[in-house]
A and B are shown apart, each in its own frame.
Chain A
Amino acid sequence: MADTIDIHAEGVEVKKSCCYFCHQNCGVLAYVKDGKVLKIEGDPTHPTNQGGLCCRGNIALLHLDHPARINHPLRRVGAKGENKWEKIPWEQAISEIAERLNAIKAESGAEAVAGAAGTLRTDDWSRRRFFNMFGTPNVFHNALLCWIPTFMVETAVSGWSPFETDLGDSRCVILWGFNPGASAMPGMRGYSDLRKAGMKIIVVDPRYSETAAHSDLWLPLRPGSDTALALAMINVIIMESLYDEEFVNNWCVGFDELWDHVMEYTPEWASEHTWLEPELIRECARMYAKNTPSNIQWGCTADQLGKTSGAGMHARAILRALTGNLDRPGGDLMPGPSHTYVTDEELEANDWLPEEQKAKQIGANKFKMTSWPGYQMIADTARETWGKAPTAEWMCEAHGPSVFKAILTGDPYQIRALIVSATNPVNSYGDSKMTLEALKKVEFLVTCEYWMTPAAIYSDYVMPIAGALERPIVHNNYGVTDHLIASQRAIQPLYERHTDYNFWRDLALATGQDVDQWPWETLEDAFYYVTYPLNEQGYVHGSYDEFVEKYRFFYPPVHYYGYGRNGFCTPSRRVELKSSILEELGYPALPTWIGPAENEIDDPDVAKEYPLVLTTGGGFMPYHHSEQFNIQSVRFLRHEPYFTINPEKADELGIKDGDWCWIETRRGRIRQRANVEPSVDKRVIYAQRGWWYPERQIAPGAVVPDEPFGCLESNVNVLSSVDDEHCDPIGGSWANRGLLCKVYKVDYWDEVETQFSIPGSSSEPGITVPPSKQKLAYEPIPYDPKPDFEVPEGLTWDKKTKYAWDLELGLYYDKDSGWLIHPETQVYYDLYTKYAYDPTDNTLVDEATGVHYDMETRQPIGGVAPVSAPATTEGGE
Chain B
Amino acid sequence: MSHKMDSNKLEKHYWIWPIAIYLFLGGLGGGTLFVAGMFDILYGPEAGYITALAVLAGVACLGFGSFLLVFELGQPLVFLRVFLSGTAILKYGACLLILAMGFGFVNFLYYLPAEWQLFYYSWTWIRDLCCWLMAICGLGVMVYTGVFLASMKAKAFWNTPALPVLFTVSALSTATVLLAILAGVWPMPADFTVQLAGAAHAAEFDAHKLVEELHFIDSILVIAEVIVLLVYVLMMRAAGNITARTIAIKWLQGAWAPLFWGGMICLGLVIPFFCYRLGGAGAEFIAPVLVLAAGLLLRFMVVFSDQRHEIAGERRFYNRLPKGDEAFLHEWKAPY
Contact = CB atoms under 8 A, between A and B. Distances in A.
User: Is the pairing of A and B real?
Assistant: yes
B115 interface: no
B110 to A, nearest CB: 54
A68 B332 contact: yes
A647 to B, nearest CB: 14
Nearest to A66: B332
Most buried by B among A629, A637, A639: A639
A293 B217 CA distance: 87
Contacts of B335: 62
B319 A632 contact: no
Contacts, number: 44
B10 to A, nearest CB: 15
B321 A639 contact: yes
A640 B326 CA distance: 10
Question: Is chain B's interface secondary structure helix, strand, loop, or mixed overall?
Answer: loop
A639 B332 contact: no
A658 B332 contact: no
Contact of B328 (A62, A66, A639, A642): A639
A300 B7 CA distance: 36
Given A639-B326, A696-B327, A67 B332 contact: yes
B8 to A, nearest CB: 12
Q: Looking at chain A's contact residues, is the secondary structure mostly helix, strand, loop, or mixed?
A: loop
B4 interface: no
B233 to A, nearest CB: 30
B332 A630 contact: yes
A695 B327 contact: yes
Interface string B292-336: 000000000000000000000000000111100011110111111
B333 A635 contact: no
Given A636-B321, A639-B321, A695 B334 contact: no
Contacts of B331: 68, 694-695, 697
Nearest to B335: A62
A643 B235 CA distance: 41
B195 to A, nearest CB: 69
Nearest to B317: A637
B320 A67 contact: no
The number of chain A residues touching the other chain, given as a range, is 20 to 34
Contacts of A45: none
Contacts of A68: 331-332
A691 B333 CA distance: 22
User: Which of A632, A633, A638 is packed against the most chain B CB atoms within 10 Å?
Assistant: A632
Interface string A647-679: 000000000001000000000000000000000
Given A639-B326, A695-B328, A696-B327, A632 B334 contact: yes
Given A67-B333, A632-B334, A658 B321 contact: no
A639 B322 contact: yes
A274 B332 CA distance: 46
A638 B328 contact: no
Nearest to B333: A67
Contacts of A635: 328
A467 to B, nearest CB: 16
Contact of B329 (A632, A642, A658): A632
A379 to B, nearest CB: 46
Contacts of A66: 332, 334
A66 B320 CA distance: 25
A334 B300 CA distance: 71
A63 B182 CA distance: 66
B319 A633 contact: no
Interface in A50-96: 62, 66-68
Contacts of B333: 67
A32 to B, nearest CB: 17
Interface in A703-757: none
A67 to B, nearest CB: 5
A695 B322 CA distance: 14
Interface in B188-203: none
Given A62-B334, A62-B335, A67-B333, A632 B320 contact: no
Contact of B332 (A632, A640, A696): A632
A694 B329 CA distance: 11
Nearest to B322: A639
A285 to B, nearest CB: 37
A389 B7 CA distance: 53
Nearest to A638: B320
A55 to B, nearest CB: 14
A766 to B, nearest CB: 34
B5 to A, nearest CB: 11
A642 B319 CA distance: 13
A636 B327 contact: no
Contacts of A696: 327
Interface string A615-642: 0000000000000011011011111101
Interface in A432-478: none
For B7, B320, B321, B328, which residue has the most chain A Cβ atoms within 10 angstroms?
B328
B4 to A, nearest CB: 16
Nearest to B329: A632
Contacts of A633: 334, 336
Contacts of B329: 632, 636
A54 to B, nearest CB: 18
Contacts of A637: 321
B320 A630 contact: no
Interface in B250-276: none
A635 B330 CA distance: 12
Interface string B1-43: 0000001000000000000000000000000000000000000
Interface in A19-35: none
Interface in A778-804: none
A178 B326 CA distance: 33
A696 B329 CA distance: 11
Contacts of A693: 327-328
Contacts of A640: 320
A697 B332 CA distance: 10
Contacts of A632: 328-329, 332, 334
Interface string B73-93: 000000000000000000000
A701 B331 CA distance: 18
A340 to B, nearest CB: 43
Interface in A686-700: 693-697
Contacts of B326: 639, 695
A538 B208 CA distance: 107
A635 B326 CA distance: 11
A630 B319 contact: no
B55 to A, nearest CB: 49
B332 A636 contact: no
A630 B328 CA distance: 7
Interface string A553-568: 0000000000000000
Interface in A820-846: none
Nearest to A637: B321
B313 to A, nearest CB: 13
A640 B320 CA distance: 8
Nearest to A61: B335
B7, B332, B334: most-surrounded residue (chain A CB, <10 A): B332
Contacts of B322: 636, 639
B6 to A, nearest CB: 13
Nearest to B330: A695
Interface of B: 7, 319-322, 326-329, 331-336
Nearest 9 A/B pairs, CB to CB: A695-B328, A695-B331, A695-B327, A67-B332, A639-B322, A632-B334, A635-B328, A68-B332, A639-B326
Given A62-B334, A630-B328, A632-B329, 11 more contacts: A68-B331, A629-B328, A632-B334, A636-B329, A639-B321, A639-B328, A693-B328, A695-B331, A695-B332, A696-B327, A697-B331
28 contacts: A62-B334, A62-B335, A66-B332, A66-B334, A67-B332, A67-B333, A67-B334, A68-B331, A68-B332, A629-B328, A630-B328, A630-B332, A632-B329, A632-B332, A632-B334, A636-B7, A637-B321, A638-B320, A639-B321, A639-B326, A639-B328, A658-B319, A693-B327, A694-B331, A695-B327, A695-B332, A696-B327, A697-B331
